[in-house]
Amino acid sequence: MPAPTENNPPPQTPPNWDRLANSKEFQNLITKKRQFIFPVFALFFAYFFALPILIGYAPKLMSTPILGPVTAAYAFALSQFPAGWLIAALYLRASKKFDRQAKEIQAQSVTQQEGK
């Protein structure tokens, strides 16, 4: 068996995944993720499908010129790009927190398992 090196760390005890998944901390993390993901998804879904719905049901409104030849429909369609980028940026920021919490939960589980 080769000696542990910087590139080859010593083997660690794998976490008990079933116990980890049933832990209160993990369940709280999943709840927090859902509280972020589902509302953001619903808002973007509604925003994304508002364009074809408005074009179909309010064509006069969507053909209103805003700036020269740019109509409300074009402005709305182009606004979906920044909205998507904003959602991605918000999720990246939130995912750092989620990842940090997941690592803490996993480390705590391994520590508890090794302590037995």
DSSP string, 1-52: -PPP-SSSPPP-PPP-HHHHHHSHHHHHHHHHHHHHHHHHHHHHHHHHHHHH
Residue-by-residue pLDDT tens, the chain, 116 positions: 555 566 666 556 777 788 888 889 999 999 999 999 999 999 999 999 999 999 999 999 999 999 999 999 999 999 999 999 999 999 999 999 999 999 998 888 877 777 66
The pLDDT value given to residue 29: 95
The pLDDT value given to residue 90: 95
The pLDDT value given to residue 1: 52
The pLDDT value given to residue 27: 94
The DSSP code for 69 is T
In the chain, the amino acid numbered 63 is S
The pLDDT value given to residue 3: 57
Neighbouring C-beta atoms of residue 54, cutoff 10 Å = 15
